[in-house]
């Protein structure tokens, strides 16, 4: 082998090494970008799910409050009706005791 052939082979090897390094750097950069995008997507999906869960929780809470308010209103109405009946009964007893 001649000296020039050896130099050309070394240059070719150096070029291949440099090209391989550049490709590796680009592959790493692409992988990092892809990973970053996946993290952002996962975060976004998580935030969306949390927001949906929060809305669902708020709706259930509102429904439970409305149901409880209806029950309390019915109980209060029943209590008021019973109190009126007792009042009428007491008034009748008092009136009849004066007769």
Segment 56-89, tens digit of pLDDT: 999 999 999 999 999 999 999 999 999 999 999 9
Taking phi over 0 as left and psi of -120 to 50 as alpha, with beta for the rest, 2 belongs to beta
pTM, two decimals, is 0.54
Distances 29 to 16, 22, 38, 66 between C-alpha atoms, Å: 20, 10, 14, 55
Q: What's the mean pLDDT in 19-40?
A: 96
């Amino acid at each position: 082998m001649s000296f020039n052939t050896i130099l050309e082979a070394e240059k070719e090897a150096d070029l291949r090494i440099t090209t391989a390094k550049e490709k590796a750097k680009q592959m790493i950069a692409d992988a990092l970008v892809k990973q970053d995008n996946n993290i952002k997507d996962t975060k976004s999906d998580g935030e969306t799910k949390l927001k949906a869960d929060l809305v669902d929780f708020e709706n259930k809470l509102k429904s439970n409050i409305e149901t409880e308010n209806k029950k309390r209103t019915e109980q209060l109405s029943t209590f008021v009706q019973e109190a009126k009946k007792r009042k009428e009964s007491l008034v009748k007893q008092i009136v009849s005791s004066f007769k």
